[in-house]
Structure 1
């Protein structure tokens, strides 16, 4: 029989466990509420495809939120955030990519996003992605990635689509809203065994605008179960404006004096910097004079203030110029601020 003292101790332990559990739920709740969705199913996809989905984080809090880390539960999945720090009222995307080369059937995985607020609240959000990977349709490679392309060039990349045991299967059309791409789909094989092959040639138009290239070509087939096959297309079209370094590493900041670093921005013609976004939270940029010249030097400084976020920091500065048709240039600076 349990004594009164034992019952009291057991009740106290139970209450403590409930309190810890409630605190955990509360901690997870504020972070989960920043996402409109935390689950995505890609549906049927060919084996070898690299499928991507953007989870949108909207900071509804009254303080900045930092994305500390993205950790996948499987080597087939990776994640990338569009920003490291999200200020109140702003948003960022966390892109989850699944590589289907080594799997068949239903495949589910999780991308863990570790978040921390400026006041020190931490939480981990689970972003779930699932695919139904087909055994009889294979993409090689799984996506079209042009890497970095100089504006005005017109490179072309090729992808193949193969299917077995489907003598009557065919693609009926392609769908893409991109004005920067050209695409041609050609049937290359159809034999008595039911094997069918296609070749997809994708190119960048010479007049494609500078900046990130992120699009998708959907191949529409006559198969009702696998009607649409997505082909992601990515790349970066480098314009006339360049920056050195592309990533400014400011290193360890252990004193109130902070640190400085420099970006050198060049173009083939004289230009003026009209605005720079991203200043604040301890980061500053030496004022620019608005004069036209072929090279500008921007000095970035970080000085930790009371209440600013500590640890690993990353800040993106968006530089806008008066060069016609030239998109803003994003400059990234990183630093580690000691507690």
Structure 2
């Protein structure tokens, strides 16, 4: 990897238990790597990440670290993760990585990075690779001045790239047998006119007749109102949001019936932006355990109904 470049690796973990999983800490064996936890409390089927960031500004050469991740819920456990890499002092990126920022869906984006090599032997970039089909890369002719070689690398994000976060890499293939491949981080976010997070709302365990509430966040590029929700029965509800805003936090409440088992519903959020503007949210819950006090008799299924928030 190039000196001074932004280099990260993300270890993704998913909670497969019915109970909550809690990451209490992560520690590193070497100052060459700085670890971070993106989300400590993970509900059923949710995911989190341990981000390992290499300190390429201070360290040079071959380095590695062991990251020890400690879990304290639902039981105590430790997991060790290993990272290693070679930080080169003869290659530099300007800027240190490709950061596309927020990109409107359908518009695409591009950024130019200056790649510089200093050394006595001829140095060339022979290829640039990426597994991301939404990237296009243009590489200028090399500029050789004394012991320095330089390229202008242009990364283009295609206009048909889907909405969501971009955390990817370009691999620069060189003619240097000591380090034939050099990674370059690419990050950004393609933003649709309306986004909802999370699109999978995992509510965990609920006792029969009980209820649970969790928030979903709806964002748009311009102020809008939430006019209602549609679900296939009356088990989901949320309050009105009639004041126009670019961001709405919707507390969604699930009311469990008296029959146990896995529950999955599709929740459609309607707005004044038009039909189908907001992606559908999948809501999951497990009705299990002793009935809540005052629980009613078995809930009878009803035809699809629309719940107005006005």
TM-score, structure 2 length as denominator? 0.61
Correspondent of 1:77 among 31, 34, 39: 34
- Does residue 137 in structure 1 map to residue 91 in structure 2? yes
Q: What whole-Å deviation, never above 9, does each CA across 1:94-121 have from its counterpart, x for those lacking one?
A: 3322231221112233444231223xx3
Return the offset for 1:160: 1.8
Partner residue of 1:202? 155
Q: What whole-Å deviation, never above 9, does each CA across 1:61-111 have from its counterpart, x for those lacking one?
A: 6643222344556375233446731537x7654332223122111223344
Counterpart Cα distance in 2 of 1:267 and 1:135: 42
For residues 189 and 66 of structure 1, do their structure 2 counterparts lie closer, same or farther at Cα, with a shift above 3 Å needed?
Answer: same
Partner residue of 1:125? 79
Partner residue of 1:151? 105
Partner residue of 1:68? 24
Partner residue of 2:251? 299
Q: Secondary structure at the match of 2:96?
A: coil
Return the offset for 1:58: 5.2
Q: Secondary structure at the match of 2:140?
A: strand
Return the offset for 1:297: 7.1
Q: Is the 8 A contact 1:86 1:92 kept in 2?
A: no
Partner residue of 2:237? 286
Q: Secondary structure at the match of 1:225?
A: coil
- Does residue 164 in structure 1 map to residue 118 in structure 2? yes
Counterpart Cα distance in 2 of 1:205 and 1:50: 23
Q: Which has the higher helix share?
A: 1
Partner residue of 2:291? none
Q: Is the 8 A contact 2:34 2:53 kept in 1?
A: yes
Q: Is the 8 A contact 1:241 1:329 kept in 2?
A: no
Partner residue of 2:166? 213
Partner residue of 1:97? 53
Return the offset for 1:239: 0.3
Q: What whole-Å deviation, never above 9, does each CA across 1:256-286 have from its counterpart, x for those lacking one?
A: x9988685565889998677xxxxxxxx963
Counterpart Cα distance in 2 of 1:51 and 1:66: 26
Counterpart Cα distance in 2 of 1:108 and 1:51: 13
Q: Which has the higher strand share?
A: 2
Q: What whole-Å deviation, never above 9, does each CA across 1:146-182 have from its counterpart, x for those lacking one?
A: 2222223333222222111244221111112323222
Q: What whole-Å deviation, never above 9, does each CA across 1:200-255 have from its counterpart, x for those lacking one?
A: 111222222111122221111122221111112111111011469xxxxxxxxxxx
Return the offset for 1:123: 3.9
Gaps of 5+ in 2: 198-210, 255-265, 283-310
RMSD between aligned alpha carbons? Answer: 4.4
TM-score, structure 1 length as denominator? 0.57
Gaps of 5+ in 1: 1-44, 245-256, 276-283, 303-317, 331-339
